[in-house]
Amino acid sequence: MAPEPRGRSPLAGGAPVPRLFGPGPGGRGPGMGGARIEKARDVRGTLQRLLGYLRPYRMHFAIVFALALVATGLALVGPFLMGRAIDGAIREQDPALLLRLVLLMLGTYVGAWGARYAENLILAHATQRAMRVLRRDLFAHLQTLSLRFFDSRPHGETMSRLTNDMDAINRVLSQNILQLFTGSLTLIGILVMMFSLNPLLALGSFVAFPLMLGLVGWVGKRTRTGFRDYQRQLGELNGKLEETYSGQRVVLAFGQGESVLRDFDAANAGVRAAGIRAQSYALLIPPMMGILSNANIAILAGLGGWLTLLGRASVGTIAAFISYSRQFAEPLRMLGDLYNQVQSALAGAERIFQTLDTPPDLTDTRDAVELGAVRGHVEFRDVDFSYISDVPVLHNVSLEAKPGQMIALVGPTGAGKTTIVNLLTRFYDVDSGAILVDGVDVRRVQRASLRRQIGIVLQQTFLFADTVMENIRYGRLDATDDEVAAAATLAHADPFIRKLPDGYNTVLSERGANLSEGQRQLLAIARAVLADPRILVLDEATSSVDTRTEVAIQKALLGLMKGRTSFVIAHRLSTIRNADQVIVIDGGRIVERGTHDELLAAQGFYGRLYTSQFRRTPLAAHPAGGAPPAT
């Protein structure tokens, strides 16, 4: 087998196209098997790039097409031999000749089956390897893109490119491309055999052909419209299902089961009606094709009988023509169906290449240096930043964290606290100003080496559907089991882990749903402990847990922060009393800074935040300029 290519094709990409819809309800209708039809805007360019992934396997495809030629030829010989048997062996009453022809017919059909099996096997090897490279290229490229790319697009759209679009391409490469070739070859072969046997009968067989072609076109256009409406309503129904499933706790809490059921029934009824309309057209094809095919056979039988009486045809020839006529309708219908499937696959490929051609907005410079072990001295110098152009989020932010210091970031929701740590980890780059770690601008170092120096514990902990051991080991993949257990012990997670059914080998459900919020946080802290970073970011790590659990997590966090430069985004201001410096942010600007006691004594913005949170004093009682509780 040819080696798999590394990297993607350098051929030019195409323009973006709308999202593909998935398959329609039951069965296949003409047009797209029940899916919305979309065409690529740059068919030629997209096809060239797609062929670039197949080029390493061109020898495989040459063998496949050769086998397809053999299989099609053998299949077409069968009816010809049947005619010979009727005209020769049966009419001449020659049992020996009849036996030879029957065995020969059997051999041709067995040979055709063997060739079909071999071609499909070789094709599967080639196409699946090409698809593996394409999937790898797309997934690898997604890893190079910044959070800005993912924040600016619905997650479902990106997942659609990884799944639906890939599946559409896979179907065309592994099935449809061969069907397209064999269908065309079969039609040509049947025409050649018909005209070689009897030109008059061949012309007679074309009486129903325009009607068949017109039927496929007429029904196909209406089926595509019907399934487009079906897919739109199905998308709305799926949206309701996903929303209800995600919010099931709220539905139950407010007793809205009947309400969501009514909404679902209404949407479901719309999908049912649209599906019936679409399928009504799609289901016209088989019976109408059957009627036209039988009408064609009747025409052949009548014309053939008349020619036989004139001595210009034989019974065996008529039988062969009837057999060829039955074979003629299927590739015709199949080709009409495949055309649109290929168009939609090219549209999907164009969307994938559009993603592959999206340049990363954060890249390491040519002279980027490896950031070795750092002391943890962090500086923000006059930093401005905006997620959206002309909508500033941070204004002239300057702060300094000396090695080992704990810096607390407080302020109302949307003030810019999380944005500061997003810039520190270089999930985004500053618009102006600079961020320095040990005196080095983070834009001049390799991102991977920077992030190895930073550990993050988020408010919403993400755990993988894997064992507890592997979830903690995610902080450092080369860690031993003993090192993982030691990190869990330091994070005060070891006691509850050992009480799990399989201890460290307990498999967690998706997002760790079989653990409590506090347990998930402790595993996240253990993961950060194992990574052993010099700079630590705690983004409201205790805001979602109860007071008792918070005490346990605080103990773990204090052990984790010891000797490390720490940035703590605080929801509960009681957790930052011992911070070396409290940075108060409002509207993207630093409005106050100092220690907890200094800021309380100043009775300013921070003092009002603290008072409103712990004394439950209404904000309206404070002077103008008061702020809501920090989040």
- In tens, the pLDDT along 44-86 reads 777 788 888 888 888 988 898 888 888 888 877 777 777 776 6
Q: Are the C-beta atoms of 90 and 98 separated by less than 8 Å?
A: yes
Q: Are the C-beta atoms of 198 and 321 separated by less than 8 Å?
A: yes
- pLDDT value, residue 223: 65
Give dist(CA 210, CA 231) in Å, integer.
31
Q: Of the ranges 8-17, 122-131, 607-616, which one carries the lowest mean pLDDT score?
A: 8-17
Q: Give the closest residue to 516 by CA, choosing from 564, 592, 461, 445.
A: 461
Give dist(CA 187, CA 199) in Å, integer.
16
- pLDDT value, residue 27: 37
DSSP states along 576-623: GTT-SEEEEEETTEEEEEE-HHHHHHHTSHHHHHHHHHHS---GGGSP
Q: Of the ranges 3-17, 368-382, 415-429, which one carries the lowest mean pLDDT score?
A: 3-17
On the question of pLDDT at 32 being above 60, the answer is no
> How many other CB atoms sit within 10 Å of the CB of residue 188?
13
* Banded pLDDT at 629 (limits 50, 70, 90): very low
Give dist(CA 40, CA 34) in Å, integer.
19
* Contact residues for 436 (Cβ-Cβ < 8 A; gap 6+): 377, 378, 379, 381, 442
Q: Please give the mean pLDDT across all residues of the chain.
A: 76
The pLDDT tens digits for 175-211 are: 777 777 777 777 788 788 778 778 877 777 777 677 7
* Banded pLDDT at 7 (limits 50, 70, 90): very low
Average pLDDT of the residues in 329-345: 68
Give dist(CA 515, CA 285) in Å, integer.
54
Question: What amino acid is encoded at 60 in this protein?
Answer: H
The owner of tokens 């790590």 is 541
Q: Of the ranges 91-105, 232-246, 438-452, 490-504, which one carries the lowest mean pLDDT score?
A: 232-246
SS3 string, 379-411, reads: EEEEEEECCECCECCEEEEEEEECCCCEEEEEC
Longest Cα separation, the chain: 119
- pLDDT value, residue 610: 80
| Joined tokens for residue 97 | 């000749």
The owner of tokens 């080496």 is 449
Give dist(CA 629, CA 543) in Å, integer.
13
Q: What is the rounded end-to-end Cα distance, in angstroms, of the chain?
A: 59
The pLDDT tens digits for 574-598 are: 667 888 899 999 888 999 999 888 8
The owner of tokens 């506090």 is 518
> How many other CB atoms sit within 10 Å of the CB of residue 206?
13
Q: Of the ranges 94-108, 213-227, 417-431, 518-532, which one carries the lowest mean pLDDT score?
A: 213-227
Give dist(CA 432, CA 350) in Å, integer.
36
Domains (range + CATH), the chain: 43-356 (1.20.1560.10), 468-515+523-532 (no CATH)
- pLDDT value, residue 380: 93
Average pLDDT of the residues in 361-385: 84
Higher-pLDDT residue of 120 and 362 is 120
- Cα four-point dihedral sign 571, 575, 577, 582: negative
- pLDDT value, residue 224: 58
Q: Are the C-beta atoms of 179 and 123 separated by less than 8 Å?
A: no
* Banded pLDDT at 3 (limits 50, 70, 90): very low
> In this structure, what DSSP letter does residue 55 have?
G
